[in-house]
């Protein structure tokens, strides 16, 4: 038995079939399918990320929540590695995060998070199967994408070129901060009273938005929610702290220059 290969070709199966009885071959084929499926499922999830990226940290939080085995591949945005030809083969839109799951490629933090939870989590509280509950989570996820683009349009020129935020950009950030407080009215989390992937999408943005537009404790429900997420999310500090601290320090330094 030790000489039997893990992955079998069709010709090998036919050769074995000519020697063994039909019953033995049926049993053998079942074992082959089992071993081949194990080999296939054992391939680790490949995760393209950099911890300075809030969306990448969002996915990393969900990965830790699910306890997945992951092969991390750092894509250094500060060195424009997202424009390298090898990465463009993974994501021609040159954004992170991105994943490869047994040959399936997906990018964008919101679809990645919903995909991972749907595939790897039997219990569905993070992304509910109930149609109306899921619709609320999806709605919040769509708005988190709006938050991302406001942050990107503000922070990227600030960090790369020292361009200070315009009054219009700061007004958009203040609107976001007010809207998050509204979304939390009467509930413990962004999409209801239980933690969902919507919270993972929002939590990595709020600290950097606070640096750009200090709220001075104006939004108590947001402050309580942030603390609640830190306590509830698995490995929150481990996943979020280094990248968040680096991004915050870069933004603060850029704001103080000139």
Asked, for residue 78, whether it belongs to a domain, the answer is no
Mean pLDDT, range 4-10, rounded to an integer: 46
Instruction: Quote the pLDDT of residue 217.
Output: 87
pTM for this model (two decimals): 0.83
Residue 168 has pLDDT above 50, yes or no: yes
The total of structural domains in the chain comes to: 2
N residues, the chain: 258
Instruction: Quote the pLDDT of residue 182.
Output: 98
Instruction: Quote the pLDDT of residue 17.
Output: 47
pLDDT per residue as tens digits for the range 24-38: 544 544 544 444 434
Percent of the chain with pLDDT over 70: 83
pLDDT per residue as tens digits for the range 208-245: 999 999 998 899 999 999 999 999 999 999 999 999 99
Q: Please indicate, yes or no, whether residues 240 and 136 belong to a single structural domain of this protein.
A: yes
Asked, for residue 185, whether it belongs to a domain, the answer is yes
Asked, for residue 240, whether it belongs to a domain, the answer is yes
Instruction: Quote the pLDDT of residue 16.
Output: 45
Residue 19 has pLDDT above 50, yes or no: no
Q: Please indicate, yes or no, whether residues 236 and 137 belong to a single structural domain of this protein.
A: yes
Asked, for residue 151, whether it belongs to a domain, the answer is yes
The domain that holds 165 is classified in CATH as: 1.20.1050.10
- Residues carrying an active site annotation: 53
Q: Please indicate, yes or no, whether residues 146 and 246 belong to a single structural domain of this protein.
A: yes
Residue 156 has pLDDT above 80, yes or no: yes
pLDDT per residue as tens digits for the range 46-67: 999 999 999 999 999 999 999 9
pLDDT per residue as tens digits for the range 129-142: 999 999 999 999 99
Asked, for residue 187, whether it belongs to a domain, the answer is yes
Asked, for residue 166, whether it belongs to a domain, the answer is yes
User: Which structural domain range is residue 20 located in?
Assistant: 10-41
Asked, for residue 99, whether it belongs to a domain, the answer is no
Asked, for residue 176, whether it belongs to a domain, the answer is yes
Instruction: Quote the pLDDT of residue 53.
Output: 97
Q: Please indicate, yes or no, whether residues 34 and 137 belong to a single structural domain of this protein.
A: no
């Amino acid at each position: 038995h030790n000489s039997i290969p893990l992955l079998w070709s069709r010709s090998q199966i036919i050769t074995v079939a000519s020697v063994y009885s039909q019953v033995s071959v049926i049993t053998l084929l079942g074992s082959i399918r089992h071993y081949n499926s194990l080999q296939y499922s054992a391939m680790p999830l490949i995760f393209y990320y950099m911890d300075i990226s809030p969306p990448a940290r969002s996915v990393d939080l969900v990965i830790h929540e699910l306890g997945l085995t992951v092969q991390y591949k750092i894509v250094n945005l500060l060195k424009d590695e997202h424009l390298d030809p090898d990465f463009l083969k993974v994501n021609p839109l040159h954004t992170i995060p991105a994943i490869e799951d047994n040959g399936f490629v997906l990018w964008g933090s919101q679809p990645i998070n919903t995909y991972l939870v749907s595939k790897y989590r039997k219990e569905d509280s993070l992304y509910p199967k109930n149609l109306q509950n899921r619709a609320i989570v999806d709605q919040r996820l769509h708005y988190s994408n709006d938050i991302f683009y406001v942050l990107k349009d503000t922070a990227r020129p600030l960090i790369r070129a020292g361009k200070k935020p315009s009054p219009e950009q700061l007004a958009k950030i203040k609107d976001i901060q007010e809207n998050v407080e509204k979304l939390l009215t009467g509930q413990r989390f962004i999409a209801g009273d239980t933690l969902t992937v919507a919270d993972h999408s929002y939590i990595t943005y709020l600290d950097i938005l606070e640096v750009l537009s200090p709220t001075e404790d104006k939004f108590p429900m947001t402050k309580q929610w942030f603390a609640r997420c830190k306590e509830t999310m698995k490995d929150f500090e481990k996943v979020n702290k280094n990248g968040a601290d680096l991004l915050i320090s870069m933004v603060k330094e850029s704001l103080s220059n000139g």
